[in-house]
């Protein structure tokens, strides 16, 4: 089941939780679903949608990070497109955090993990003073 089918459960929790950052895996989102359809009011949404480049299975996958819109955040683009992941830079005063959410299916080949580590290394090199949370 996709996150879309669970929105009636999640949305009330979001409004009462007070969470600043929320991450989901196995969203089953794809490029044809607009983030506006998710109705995450007061959150900036970053998705790592499922697509033919990064998924061979139709049963799972997709990632999402939702950050309270009062926080300063930016999508971080990486060159690796074969992994279902999303990275966001979050600025908290003098501190910079890199947040990441990844979905790697069970029984994936070692090469998929290697590609993910290439993406993470790319972020470390381009943001040497940032702290990373995956």
Q: Note the pLDDT of residue 56.
A: 58
End-to-end CA distance of the chain: 24
Maximal CA-CA distance, the chain: 42
Q: What is the full DSSP assignment across 2-69?
A: -GGGGHHHHHHHHHHH--SEEEEE-----TTS-GGGGT-TTEEEEEE---TTT-S-SSS--EEEEEET
Place of tokens 């819109």: 69
72-122 pLDDT, tens digit per residue, is: 999 999 999 889 999 999 999 999 999 999 988 888 899 999 999 999 999
66-78 pLDDT, tens digit per residue, is: 999 999 999 999 9
Q: What is the pTM of this model?
A: 0.83
53: pLDDT strictly greater than 70: no
Q: Note the pLDDT of residue 33.
A: 66
């Amino acid at each position: 089941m996709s996150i879309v089918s669970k929105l009636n459960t999640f949305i009330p929790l979001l409004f009462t939780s007070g969470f600043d950052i929320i991450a989901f895996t196995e969203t089953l989102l794809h490029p044809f679903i607009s983030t506006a359809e998710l109705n995450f009011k007061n959150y900036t949404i970053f998705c790592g949608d499922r697509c033919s480049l990064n998924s061979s299975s139709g049963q799972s996958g997709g990632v999402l990070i939702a950050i309270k819109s009062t926080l300063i955040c930016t999508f971080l683009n990486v060159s690796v497109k074969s992994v279902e992941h999303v990275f966001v830079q979050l600025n908290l005063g003098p501190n910079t955090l890199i947040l990441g959410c990844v979905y790697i299916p069970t029984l994936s080949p070692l090469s998929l993990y290697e590609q993910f580590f290439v993406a993470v290394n790319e972020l470390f090199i381009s943001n040497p003073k940032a702290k990373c949370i995956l």
